[in-house]
């Protein structure tokens, strides 16, 4: 009720906290984050900007879990602490986590234990372009995986590997048909990204790197070896879409709910070489998006594919 009243009256809880902190000459802010990778560009990038708006010389530190650490290194000028025992969806105690890391919660002037980017940062929608910095030292990471230096690959994230009230993933039968057609009709190799190697795919031309790459290795492959990227609404999509670097790539994204992710952000990628098309399943039914449509958008469309299509 209080949050709803604040929104109705135009009171931003984050701004109120930051104004008070600035008046007290705050210099250190700790932000806890135990949710998704895609929230780093979609929410936490703007959070950093907003904190610095009120406290320009602030030192911002994120406390997070191990699998999210790399993503924070793509934000400019922030620190990262990792509690290796954190798991997504599992409650945590800040003081205990900090003590294990040799830190004291009293050392931070402001602690944001449960940041709420969705409600705190509405101002960024359609206005702010997230820009994730790229380090050229990551460019050669793809070479350790034995990928061909000739031609290119289709990067694919098959499963978001998260639980939602609706199905975010394309049916496995669709994926199997797409892999077959990509190999048989277009002689294109596919590289799979993600954590789990299940379900297995035995289709020729598929290089399964699920569970074998860290974030920067995956992004190095996408940036340097993938001409195409086919993904559902996921952290992989959000991170790849907002890399602040020019490189050619065509992305086809699959959506059950177009009111989320990069579509909700309503801004173009900072990558001038990126072409994007969103395919949306009506009534949150992603199975309605046919393989033919994906094939067409990846292989047959002209240069301007920046559009949304509903099925």
- pLDDT, residue 2, reads 47
Task: Identify the residue with better confidence: 244 or 88.
Answer: 244
In 3D space, the residue among 212, 215, 250, 221 whose CA is nearest the CA of residue 236 turns out to be 215
**CA 261 to chain CA mean position, Å:** 8
pTM to 2 decimal places: 0.92
Residue 276 has pLDDT above 50, yes or no: yes
- pLDDT, residue 151, reads 82
When the pLDDT of each residue in the chain is averaged and rounded to a whole number, the result is 92
Contacts of 274 (CB under 8 A, 6+ apart): 241, 247, 248, 249, 250, 251
**Percent over 90 (pLDDT), the chain:** 83
- pLDDT, residue 163, reads 66
141-179 confidence digits (pLDDT tens): 999 999 999 888 999 999 877 766 778 889 999 999 999
CB 250 within 8 A of CB 229: yes
User: Could you tell me the residue ranges of all domains in the chain?
Assistant: 2-124, 139-310
Query: Interior CA angle at 191 toward 232 and 261, to 5°?
Result: 20
Q: How many CB atoms lie within 10 A of CB 285?
A: 13
Question: Distance between CA atoms of 103 and 32, rounded to whole angstroms?
Answer: 14
- Annotate 84-117 with b (16+ C-beta within 10 A) or e (fewer): eebeeeeeeebeebbeeeebeeeebbbbbeebeb
Residue 84 has pLDDT above 60, yes or no: yes
CB 205 within 8 A of CB 183: yes
Q: What is the CATH architecture assignment of 139-310?
A: 3-Layer(aba) Sandwich (3.40)
**Percent over 70 (pLDDT), the chain:** 94
Residue 19 has pLDDT above 90, yes or no: yes
Q: In what order do the strands lie in the sheet with 59-64?
A: 79-82, 59-64, 28-33, 110-112
146: left (phi over 0), alpha (psi -120 to 50) or beta: left
CA atoms within 13 A on the CB side of 234: 24
- pLDDT, residue 148, reads 93
**CATH code of the domain made up of 2-124:** 3.40.1380
* Region of poorest pLDDT, from 5-9, 42-46, 54-58, 242-246: 5-9
Task: Identify the residue with better confidence: 246 or 183.
Answer: 246
Q: Do domains 2-124 and 139-310 have the same CATH topology?
A: no
* Region of poorest pLDDT, from 69-73, 267-271, 305-309: 305-309
- pLDDT, residue 202, reads 81
Q: In terms of C-beta distances under 8 Å and separation of at least 24 residues, what long-range contacts does 143-152 make, across chains too? A: 144/217, 145/207, 145/209, 145/212, 145/213, 145/217, 145/221, 147/191, 147/207, 147/221, 147/225, 148/189, 151/189, 152/188, 152/225, 152/226, 152/227, 152/228
């Amino acid at each position: 009720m209080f949050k709803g009243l604040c929104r109705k009256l135009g009171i931003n809880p984050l701004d109120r906290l930051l104004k008070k902190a600035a008046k007290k000459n705050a210099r250190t802010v700790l932000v806890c984050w135990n949710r998704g990778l895609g929230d780093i560009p979609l929410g936490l990038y703007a959070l950093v900007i907003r904190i610095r708006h009120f406290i320009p010389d602030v030192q911002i530190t994120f406390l997070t879990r191990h699998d999210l650490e790399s993503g924070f290194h793509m934000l400019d000028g922030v620190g990262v602490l990792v509690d290796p025992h954190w798991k997504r969806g599992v409650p945590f105690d800040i003081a205990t986590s900090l003590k294990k890391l040799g830190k004291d919660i009293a050392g931070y002037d402001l602690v944001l234990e449960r940041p709420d980017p969705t409600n705190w940062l509405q101002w960024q929608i359609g206005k702010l372009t997230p820009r994730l910095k790229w380090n050229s030292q990551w460019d050669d990471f793809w070479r350790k995986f034995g990928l061909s230096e000739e031609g290119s690959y289709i990067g694919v994230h098959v499963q978001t590997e998260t639980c939602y009230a609706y199905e975010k993933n394309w049916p496995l039968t669709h994926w199997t048909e797409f892999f077959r057609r990509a190999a048989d009709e277009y002689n294109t190799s596919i590289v799979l990204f993600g954590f789990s190697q299940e379900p297995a795919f035995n289709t020729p031309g598929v290089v399964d790197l699920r569970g074998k790459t860290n974030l920067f290795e995956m992004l190095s492959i996408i940036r340097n070896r993938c001409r195409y990227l086919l993904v559902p609404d996921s952290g992989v999509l959000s991170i790849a879409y907002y890399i602040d670097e020019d490189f050619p790539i065509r992305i086809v994204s699959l959506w059950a709910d177009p009111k989320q992710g990069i579509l909700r952000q309503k801004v173009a990628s900072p990558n001038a070489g990126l072409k994007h098309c969103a395919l949306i399943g009506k009534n949150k039914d992603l199975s309605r998006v046919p393989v033919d449509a994906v094939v067409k958008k990846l292989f047959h469309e002209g240069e301007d594919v920046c559009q949304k299509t509903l099925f």
